[in-house]
Amino acid sequence: MTGNSLENTFEVVRSSVVAFASKVVRRERPQFPEIIGTGFVVDPCGVVATNRHVIDALQALPRHPNRNEPSAFCILPTSIQRSGDQRHMGTLFVGIRGYHVLESFVPAGPYYGQGLPDFGFIQLEVQQLPALKLSEEEFSLRVGMPIATAGFPLGTDALLIYEKISQVMPFLRHGVVSSVLPFPCPYPHGFTIDVMGQGGASGSPIFLADRPIAVGILHAGFPGTNITYGVPSTLLAKGLEECLKSSPPDLTGVPTLADLVARSERNDILTWEPFRAERPPEAG
């Protein structure tokens, strides 16, 4: 695949980036669901990659007090549509069918990373989604290579300006790979980028600046610095393979993205079902 501009790369990547949110309300006048973390589609059948600690936070959310339903859900962007001189983009609130995290991890060779790498997978109640390709090549991470990341740093707060919802798209940020762990090698156990990590951005894809290929997933950072750690896509790809093998997605009755878009009505008023509860655990 030939190289491309970051602008064009982002146009492809952003359709795969999602936010995970909660119906739990902790604001007096909530204008938008509270975003817990970011994720990105890695398989068209509706499998999304995110961090293990984001999954832990979503599963720890209180259930609906009346219907005993989970309060975690996914915010899925739609494509930008043009109607005459106007353009519009919608968001779909999609349910979660299940979670998959590694119960054990056996590296193929010398390994100096986390005992259980900080990633997992979430099965959504929708299929036929645009998936982001994961790089599985050796030496796919090199110090100094241009990268970008897209997600929701600061969660919902960064979307709320001018006393209203002013943005629904993920933030694009870019930089370089600043280190490879433990040193440059074919299959490193981690890497850092010079982009500040902030709560809500956990689970964001880290991808090539000139091609829509993920080389890792944003994992954690030192507060107040631009030293942010990522888990390499080579580990993520092996985890995805295990996930699909051990827990094949059951798509019985699961609508396609096109079905959901066709059934949804354009509405300028946000409708969702918030409820009061204790503040959810922080992620990110």
| Interval 98-142: pLDDT, tens | 999 988 887 767 777 888 899 999 999 999 999 999 999 999 999
**Residue entry with tokens 């007096």:** 28
> Residue 228: is its pLDDT beyond 70?
yes
Please report whether residue 282 resides in a domain: no
Dihedral, 46, 53, 208, 95 alpha carbons, nearest 10: 20
Please report whether residue 44 resides in a domain: yes
- One-letter amino acid at 225 equals T
Range of the domain at 53: 6-276
Q: How long a stretch of residues is the chain?
A: 284
Print burial letters for 168-203: b (CB count within 10 Å at least 16), e (below 16). Answer: eebbbbbbebbbbbeeeeebbbbbbbebbbbbbbbb
**Minimum mean pLDDT range among 23-37, 135-149, 164-178, 190-204:** 23-37
> Residue 255: is its pLDDT beyond 50?
yes
Please report whether residue 1 resides in a domain: no
User: SS3 for 14?
Assistant: helix
Tokens encoding 221: 């950072």
Please report whether residue 132 resides in a domain: yes
Check residues 191 and 68 and name the one with the higher pLDDT. 191
Residue 268: Cβ within 10 Å count: 5
Please report whether residue 62 resides in a domain: yes
Please report whether residue 281 resides in a domain: no
Read off the pLDDT band of 280 (50, 70, 90).
Answer: very low
Total domains present in the chain: 1
Can you give the CATH number for the domain in which 169 is found? 2.40.10.120
The mean pLDDT of 219-229, rounded to a whole number, is: 92
- One-letter amino acid at 245 equals K
User: SS3 for 143?
Assistant: coil
Please report whether residue 283 resides in a domain: no
Percentage of the chain lying above the pLDDT 70 cut: 89
Q: List C-alpha distances in Å: 180 to 63, 119, 120, 143, 216.
A: 41, 18, 22, 6, 12
Q: Are 188 and 179 in contact (CB under 8 A)?
A: no
Q: How does pLDDT run across 33-82, given as a tens digit for each residue? A: 899 999 999 999 999 999 999 999 999 998 877 777 888 999 998 877 77
Please report whether residue 163 resides in a domain: yes
Q: Give pLDDT, residue 162.
A: 77
**Residue entry with tokens 């739609």:** 78
pTM, two decimals, is: 0.90
Read off the pLDDT band of 229 (50, 70, 90).
Answer: very high
Check residues 96 and 27 and name the one with the higher pLDDT. 96
